[in-house]
Amino acid sequence: MTIGKNAPPLLIFTGVRAIDPNCGLDGEIDLVIEAGVITRVGKGAATSELLRAEGARIFSGNHLWVTPAFVDLHAHLREPGQEYKEDILSGLRAAAHGGFAHVCVMPNTRPVNDTRAVTEAMVERARSLEGPALHPIGAITVGQKGSELTEMADLKEAGAVGVSDDGRCVTSSAVMRRALEYARTFDLTVIQHAEDHALTEGAQMHEGAISTRLGLRGWPRVAEDIIVARDVLLAEATGARYHVAHVSTLGSVRIIREAKSRGIAVTAEVTPHHLTLTDASLIGYDTACKVNPPLREQADVDALRAALADGTIDAIATDHAPHSSLEKDCELAEASPGMIGLELVVPLLFGMAKNGELPLARLVDALTARPSKIAGLEAPALREGKRAEICVIDTTRSITINRANIRSKSLNTPFLNQTFTGTCVLTMAAGKIVFDQNLPQ
Ligand code: NCD
Ligand code: ZN
């Protein structure tokens, strides 16, 4: 049982729109992939001889957008320990369906990924599936308990591409300082889930007019901003690489922008849902909209979009957080936070880019080259000589978000039963086809 299938000997794209800002590409061109390797890119690359070749599979038309395959910095695949929500197989299938060739997975599994053994087990399992590549993120502290640092050298050697206590914040300034110093010696990026837990106890949603109206305890913006501000100072003092997970507030954006302008090694990511939804979605007490950090206000959404556009926010990360009906079909206060995301990036965000609401070049960069750099991975690119790692989007094909179309085991998304135009129809990772709309999955 594998996800990846060998590509046909010849795959030809003619007159498609190819977008790869890091190769200076956005135009109607041809692309040829031979035995899983990109061999020709450019106008006229698909010669009549190639097009006549026996066994060639041909895609044509500028309604097809071809981009480098995506790289997710933040997903929860739940294996080991909570396979009823998702496992590595279903998670990587969802990733492939979403256009991803690389997925960095958070350590809040059961047990927590705080050791070489867990990291290695994840990598092995994923490798055997020949699908999108899985890159573990190790814990910062043992058991994500916030006090004792993990053996980061071991984690890195076993394949970890960063460290994070995601789901929990490293609250102690002393521990965070030591974590940054320690991670720096191994050239690992420290990824923070920025939440001052003392300020968010019992919170169900963003603190604002709507939480007051609904009578729900709120999660104030400042609980995120305080941690980001402190961490930026610690990053400056230690010279370590610091990355903010799922930025949600206009205040954090301001702090990150200022830190970058002073040359501090800080990077940041934003989720598709924080770019598209506000706390107004909670008015019906929909548990699918309960997420950590919470959905904020329109002013935050506007600030996040502007920060993504100008590069202050480097990357788009899904924070794919599958939960079953056990954790979601209940009262809001009892529900676990999180929503699925891997399969929603193209439907949600490329539609916005098509309408001019997001700059397309930045969107592609934020899903490919920038996250690759942050995780220390070689970026997928539409370049001759590279093993094919591509995402093909059919901008005219629609997708309804439901059980029949979603590969993830969980369906916790407020976009359930909605139909979007524009969906991924082919994904290649490491030269193999990992998702193909025309083949039964
Ligand atoms: C995440 C989860 O379910 O693991 N939930 C969430 O709402 N984002 C944890 C996290 O990233 O905070
Ligand atoms: Zn988190």
* This model's pTM is above 0.95: yes
* 321 in contact with ligand 1, CB cutoff 6 A: yes
Please name which ligand lies nearest the alpha carbon of 110.
1
> What would the mean pLDDT of 354-370 be, rounded to a whole number?
96
Domain-wise residue ranges, the chain: 5-67+383-436, 68-375
> What would the mean pLDDT of 34-58 be, rounded to a whole number?
96
Nearest residue by C-alpha to atom 9 in ligand 1: 167
Q: Which two tokens stand for residue 97?
A: 């369906």
Q: Which two tokens stand for residue 378?
A: 């070689």
Nearest residue by C-alpha to atom 10 in ligand 1: 167
The answer, yes or no, to whether the previous bond of 414 is cis (omega within 30 of 0) is no
For the cut 90, the answer to whether the pLDDT of residue 317 exceeds it is yes
Q: How far are the Cα atoms of 66, 103, 165, 178, 182 from residue 141, in angstroms, in the given order?
A: 40, 22, 7, 11, 12
Q: How far are the Cα atoms of 135, 193, 197 from residue 184, in angstroms, in the given order?
A: 19, 18, 26
Nearest residue by C-alpha to atom 12 in ligand 1: 167
pLDDT (0 to 100) of residue 87: 98
DSSP class of 81: T
Atom of ligand 1 nearest to the CA of 292: 7
Largest CA distance in the chain: 69
- How many whole angstroms from 167 Cα to the centroid of ligand 2? 4
- How many whole angstroms from 439 Cα to the centroid of ligand 2? 35
- How many whole angstroms from 307 Cα to the centroid of ligand 2? 20
pLDDT (0 to 100) of residue 380: 98
- How many whole angstroms from 55 Cα to the centroid of ligand 2? 46
- How many whole angstroms from 166 Cα to the centroid of ligand 2? 5
Atom of ligand 1 nearest to the CA of 337: 7
pLDDT (0 to 100) of residue 438: 87
Provide Rg for the chain, Cα atoms.
21
pLDDT (0 to 100) of residue 198: 98
Three-class DSSP labels, 318-347: CCECCCCHHHHCCCCCCCCCCECCCCCHHH
> What would the mean pLDDT of 293-307 be, rounded to a whole number?
98
82 φ/ψ angles, rounded to the nearest 5 degrees: -130, 50
The answer, yes or no, to whether the previous bond of 293 is cis (omega within 30 of 0) is yes
* Average pLDDT, rounded, for the chain: 98
Question: Does the active-site annotation cover 310?
Answer: no
- How many whole angstroms from 78 Cα to the centroid of ligand 1? 11
Catalytic hit among 225, 300, 319, 394: 319
- How many whole angstroms from 280 Cα to the centroid of ligand 1? 20
Choosing from 140, 292, 327 the residue with most ligand 1 atoms within 8 A of its CB, the one to mutate for a pocket test is 292
Choosing from 104, 105, 108, 191 the residue with most ligand 1 atoms within 8 A of its CB, the one to mutate for a pocket test is 108
> What would the mean pLDDT of 96-112 be, rounded to a whole number?
98
For the cut 90, the answer to whether the pLDDT of residue 1 exceeds it is no
* 412 in contact with ligand 1, CB cutoff 6 A: no
Nearest residue by C-alpha to atom 11 in ligand 1: 167
More confident residue, 55 or 98: 98
Report how far residue 157's alpha carbon sits from residue 116's, in angstroms, rounded to the nearest whole number.
8
Nearest residue by C-alpha to atom 6 in ligand 1: 338
Report how far residue 119's alpha carbon sits from residue 202's, in angstroms, rounded to the nearest whole number.
32
Atom of ligand 1 nearest to the CA of 321: 3
Nearest residue by C-alpha to atom 2 in ligand 1: 321
For the cut 70, the answer to whether the pLDDT of residue 123 exceeds it is yes
* 167 in contact with ligand 1, CB cutoff 6 A: yes
Q: How far apart are the first and last CA of the chain?
A: 12
Question: Which strand (E) or helix (H) includes residue 60?
Answer: strand 57-60
> What would the mean pLDDT of 235-244 be, rounded to a whole number?
98
Beta strands in 180-224 (DSSP E): 190-192, 205-206, 218-219
Sign of CA dihedral 162, 269, 103, 62: negative
For the cut 90, the answer to whether the pLDDT of residue 140 exceeds it is yes
Report how far residue 106's alpha carbon sits from residue 317's, in angstroms, rounded to the nearest whole number.
12
Residues 6 or more apart whose CB falls under 8 angstroms from that of 345 comprise 70, 98, 99, 272, 316, 318, 367
Strand partners, 71: 102
Please name which ligand lies nearest the alpha carbon of 108.
1
pLDDT (0 to 100) of residue 439: 78
More confident residue, 1 or 386: 386
Would you say 160 and 188 are in contact if contact means Cβ atoms under 8 Å apart?
A: yes
Q: Which two tokens stand for residue 107?
A: 């350590």
Atom of ligand 1 nearest to the CA of 168: 12
CB atoms within 10 A of CB 157: 13
Atom of ligand 1 nearest to the CA of 290: 7
> Which of 363, 353, 324 shows the shortest CA–CA distance to 340?
324
For the cut 80, the answer to whether the pLDDT of residue 441 exceeds it is no
- For the domain spanning 68-375, the CATH number is 3.20.20.140
CATH superfamily name and code, 5-67+383-436: Urease, subunit C, domain 1 (2.30.40.10)
pLDDT tens digits for range 71-95? 999 999 999 999 999 999 999 999 9
pLDDT (0 to 100) of residue 440: 66
Would you say 159 and 123 are in contact if contact means Cβ atoms under 8 Å apart?
A: yes
More confident residue, 439 or 54: 54
> What would the mean pLDDT of 326-336 be, rounded to a whole number?
98
pLDDT (0 to 100) of residue 293: 98
Cite the DSSP H helix spans in 100-208: 116-129, 152-158, 173-185
Sign of CA dihedral 47, 50, 51, 56: negative
Choosing from 72, 73, 76 the residue with most ligand 1 atoms within 8 A of its CB, the one to mutate for a pocket test is 76
Q: In what order do the strands lie in the sheet with 133-136?
A: 70-75, 100-105, 133-136
pLDDT tens digits for range 416-434? 999 999 999 999 999 999 9
- How many whole angstroms from 386 Cα to the centroid of ligand 2? 33
* 76 in contact with ligand 1, CB cutoff 6 A: yes
350 alpha carbon, distance to own chain's centre:
15
